Amino acid sequence: MNAPLTKTLSEKPVSFEIADVMENVYDKQMLHLPKDMISVREGFNPRRYFSEDKLNEMVASIKTQGILQPIVVKPSHDRTTFYLIAGERRYRAATIAGVEKVPVIIRLVSDEEALAMAVAENSERQDVSAAEEAKACQRMLTLCKGDRTEAALALGWTEKKLETRLTLLHCTDSVLDALEQRKIAIGHAELFAGLTAELQDSILVSVIEKRVTVSVLRDQLGKFAFKLSDAVFNLTGCNGCPHNSSITADLFDESLSDGHCLNRDCYEQKTRQHLEEKKTELSKEYPVIWLDVERPADTRCHLMREGENGVGREQYSACQGCGNFGALMSTSKGNEGQVETGLCFDVTCNSKMIKSHQNELVSEQLSSVQPNSNTETPSIIKPEKPKERKKAADTPKRVKEFVQARKYKAAAATVWSNIKLTKVMSLIALTEAIKHLRVTDKLERGLKTYGAEKLLTMTSRAEKVSLLHSLDESTLDMTISAFAATLAGGIAPERIQYEESDGLKTAHAILKAENVDMRNHFLVDEEYLQTLTVSGLKALVMESGFLEWYEAKEGKQAGHCEKEILKGKRDDQIKAIFKAGFDWKGYLPIEAQLRD
């Protein structure tokens, strides 16, 4: 049997001030940490049900033998604590056993990687339930921005398994609790997921008490029919269908004769298709649309303009153009297609915006009135400089893609007309061409002479652009010759590694190297506006100064612009914005600017 882990896991003395520990951590490091340095994030651990008997057994084992296997942790983003990744049962047992310090393995990984590790660790122990996996799947989808393929890859699952786990999120809490506590099987839960919440809870008790098998439950529910009056999809295709009970009423009881669908698969397929179409339509109105199974409740909140949870008028408008602002659509039985709008899907950012607005209100109250030294009458203090315009925290995906395409085009045009940049890009192509070749000592010495030796270790194309552009023409020419010679005479094995993932950074580096003014390559036009949602258009007129210009032009009060321009459908708003005659030259949206 393995001996308890001891202080020998760390060869040097460790300071247990959290700041000192954080400063010296590295990946896969093993330490003994005080328990108060470790935090369990609510909802992160895939396992929610812990067997009391197994927990008590572990407590007894720890008291006699210590903790035989370290728990896995990662530094929090603010580096004030260590988040637990795997080993929560060991952590709970250690707490009950009165252990002050616990052995840990520190991992420097992203949230996505941490969740994947937690799911894998629990799956290997074969005691994590499908319900717990469903919750973990939902968390991973949030981290992967709703990309189901990416989420499945991160979890090491097939997309089919991911979809079946997501379906379980339509189960009521009572059904999920029963599944976690192993009172029902996953087959039961999958069948329950297709029923309304009321029906699930009413049937669950009988299923548990009578120990109804999955096959029996499937047979019973197979006799169930779906009311066509409850359908969210168009019923035109149901007219004349042999599975429509109103067509074959003589075959059924009276309760089934009034327009029911007897083909569950067809009914559910049409429902899913309708929801996808509705989601696509909603994407024209909001920057992001999430399904209820894709976002846990604690990762979203309502965006408020005023009140104790308000972000302020200007920030409210800016947030409506953010990539994290949008709507949530229900897919649960009986609520299909219901939409909750005006949501912020970055609760951390929302909290910061609320706090910032509250601080601004306090500052305004303190600075707007100041006692005058000569009289009792307060004097108004004017702000010394104009307020900075509020900005959205993120850019919607469709807008990003459009702007990035413009930046790529601008970078290509810049290289085409610039001899030095042409040489720079040619040399970068050479460095990638010899990545599988052995670099000669002569080349290494030459690069050191030219001050370009970092080229041998750089993996980022953007970094290479910045380095090479800083060289003078003659040094650049000599470096090109040196790499060309290596390509001509070099042999394996591989020396230089390259990742094909920094195309946009490269374009940025090219544009910044020549101080390219993006206003010469980007103009707010109808094609760009078509990438914006309704909320995005509102944010644009606020940010660009269009709103103030229009109200000054019309000589109207604040709010007139929104009533006259931002009304009707999105296409109507776009036409109204262009018809107004605002001069967009010189204005560059934040997402099109060359920021670091």
Q: What is the pLDDT of residues 33-44, one digit of tens each?
A: 888 888 888 766
| Mean pLDDT value across residues 71-80 | 87
Tell me: pLDDT of 386 over 60. no
| % of the chain exceeding 70 in pLDDT | 81
Q: Which residue in the block uniquely carries the two structure tokens 């090109």?
A: 480
Q: What is the mean pLDDT of the chain?
A: 79
Cβ neighbors of 371 (< 8 A, separation 6 or more) are: 378, 379
- Please give, one letter per residue, the 3-state secondary structure of 100-122: CEEEEEECCCCHHHHHHHHHHHH
| Predicted pLDDT of residue 139 | 83
| Mean pLDDT value across residues 168-191 | 88
Cα separations in angstroms, 167 against 130, 145, 195: 11, 18, 11
pLDDT digits (tens, 9 = 90+) for 529-538: 888 888 888 8
DSSP 486: H
Cα separations in angstroms, 43 against 47, 139, 277, 409: 9, 9, 31, 44
Tell me: pLDDT of 328 over 80. yes
| Predicted pLDDT of residue 165 | 87
CB hemisphere CA count around 98 (13 angstroms): 3
| Predicted pLDDT of residue 579 | 87
* pLDDT classification of 251: cutoffs 50, 70, 90: very low
* pLDDT classification of 175: cutoffs 50, 70, 90: very high
Higher pLDDT, 596 or 448: 448
pLDDT digits (tens, 9 = 90+) for 430-453: 877 776 656 666 667 767 776 667
| Predicted pLDDT of residue 134 | 85
Tell me: pLDDT of 505 over 70. yes
| Predicted pLDDT of residue 220 | 78
Strands 325-329 and 339-344: antiparallel
Calpha distance 265→288 (Å, rounded) = 29
Calpha distance 138→119 (Å, rounded) = 12
* pLDDT classification of 252: cutoffs 50, 70, 90: very low
**What pTM did the predictor assign?**
0.59
Higher pLDDT, 256 or 322: 322
Tell me: pLDDT of 23 over 90. no
Calpha distance 246→379 (Å, rounded) = 79
**Alpha carbon 454 to chain centroid, angstroms:** 34
Q: Is 570 in contact with 580 (CB distance < 8 Å)?
A: no
Tell me: pLDDT of 11 over 60. no
| % of the chain exceeding 90 in pLDDT | 8
Least confident of 214-228, 237-251, 344-358, 574-588: 237-251
Rounded CA Rg of the chain: 31
Calpha distance 503→482 (Å, rounded) = 25
| Predicted pLDDT of residue 225 | 62
| Predicted pLDDT of residue 329 | 93
| Mean pLDDT value across residues 169-184 | 88
Q: Is 13 in contact with 80 (CB distance < 8 Å)?
A: no
548, two tokens: 């103030």
402, two tokens: 């459009």
Q: For residue 324, which of 289, 280, 291, 276 has the smallest C-alpha distance?
A: 289
| Mean pLDDT value across residues 97-119 | 84
Longest dimension (CA), the chain: 96
* pLDDT classification of 76: cutoffs 50, 70, 90: confident
Helix (H) or strand (E) holding 329: strand 325-329
Higher pLDDT, 211 or 370: 211
| Predicted pLDDT of residue 127 | 61
Can you list the pairs that 408-417 forms with residues at least 24 positions away whose Cβ atoms lie under 8 Å? Answer: 408/503, 408/504, 408/507, 409/521, 410/507, 410/511, 410/516, 410/518, 410/521, 410/522, 411/506, 411/507, 411/508, 411/510, 411/511, 413/521, 414/510, 414/511, 414/514, 414/516, 415/510
Tell me: pLDDT of 256 over 70. no
Q: Is it true that the peptide bond before 493 is cis, omega within 30 degrees of 0?
A: yes
| Predicted pLDDT of residue 437 | 57
**Alpha carbon 581 to chain centroid, angstroms:** 38
Tell me: pLDDT of 9 over 50. no
Calpha distance 573→537 (Å, rounded) = 8
Sheet arrangement for strand 38-39: 29-34, 101-106, 71-75, 82-86, 38-39
| Mean pLDDT value across residues 411-435 | 86
Domains and CATH numbers, the chain: 7-128 (3.90.1530.30), 283-394 (no CATH), 419-513 (no CATH), 518-592 (no CATH)
Helix (H) or strand (E) holding 427: helix 419-433
